[in-house]
Amino acid sequence: MEVPSLQGIKIESGLLTMEKRARVGERKQSLRIGIPGEISNEERRVSISPSGVGTLVANGHEVAVERGAGNGANFADSEYSEAGAEILDSVSELYARSNLIVKVGPPNRDELGYLQEKQVLVSALHLGETSPDFLQRLMDLGVTGIGFEFIRDPDGSLPIVRMMHEIMGSMAVQIAARYLESDEGGRGTMLGGISGVPPSNVVILGAGVVGEWAARTAIGFGANVVVLDSDLSALRSLEHYLDRRVTTAMATDQYIRNAVVSADVIIGAMMSAGNRSPILVTEEMVGSMKSGSVIVDAVIDQGGCIETSRPTTHSHPVFRMHDVIHYCVPNMPSNAARTSTYALSNVLVPYLLDIGEVASINEALWRNPALRSGTYVYRRHLTKKSLATMFGMPHRDIELLIASGI
């Protein structure tokens, strides 16, 4: 999943009316779920794994999968058919026969033409690529759009975003280890060293979820790990979680400069919710790094936190500047497509089951605050104030829309 950018997004809160609909007995709808293949941004993931499809089918739902949708994640069509899915050659037929579409990335221009009136669309929104025209098209069709990056559990966490950030942090260190090797033009060093040879120095900028999982992985390799952040409480929490196996420091100019000079690897993991990632490492600092050292800017989708970073692709993932290898691929989890698909499926399938447990999507949104928080268009209305502000569009409160029966 291109890991979602949170630019322009703020935590939104609302009040439900005190009145609740009377429950007169359990009602259930049989969903017709369509899982198309992904065709943009070198996306290899698929939204639901075969085991997830099996769970949906076992609960009475119909699932159609586009032929070859799982190829990038090494899931064969036969695995999906054995789990109970129907394999369709035509993506237009898949959309036409489904009342709920679940995919990784948002529909592109061609796929928008396949959407049907009043369908439910569950996918990432990718704010950096979203346009008013895209949102208007969904509203014109009466589509209910639920975005991965908005789904918020009652404890305030963003489960899908967190899952992808865990993968990004772990992958960043794996990638850095590979590019340190001589065959890739690196310094020819191991992260962990061996007896009599000291380990590499890994500097992680940011103590959030990406930084935490980068630190965990680097410790597992045996590296010497330094984590910098401007939030002292985040550093304190990280030291506690990792049993003080990392060195932490405030992200001041002096500490950053000292860490960069000695670094074999820098992992960019500093995020600022609702804003561009802050630039912590200047080009001058990069110029002071060792020849053949590695930068992995894991937050390039939010602009990156190293001044010399610029977006790269899976097909051309690195470039050199000041003789430092830069890896800046925005959609990192796509390169661990199978793991990422299982992670997505683990989170998404329970939400889909919740939708199927009631008679309609508006009933599901009424009962499930996480799904409601993830909804950005509903019944021809934009329902995210943050999106309305970003694009200068009107919006309606979703709780009031559901309560009024609009």
User: Would you please indicate which residues are annotated as catalytic (active-site) residues?
Assistant: 126, 301
CA distance 368 to 56: 18
Q: What strands, in cross-sheet order, belong to the sheet with 62-66?
A: 86-88, 62-66, 32-35, 100-102, 120-123, 144-147, 375-378, 381-382
Please measure the distance between the N-terminal and C-terminal CA atoms of the chain and give it in whole angstroms: 33
Q: What strands, in cross-sheet order, belong to the sheet with 324-327?
A: 247-250, 224-229, 201-205, 265-268, 294-297, 324-327, 318-321
DSSP 358: S
Pairing status of strand 324-327 against strand 294-297: parallel
CB–CB of 104/41 below 8 Å?
no
For the record, the structure tokens of 34 come out as 């369509």
CA distance 368 to 122: 15
Angle, helices 232-241 vs 209-221, to 10°: value is 40
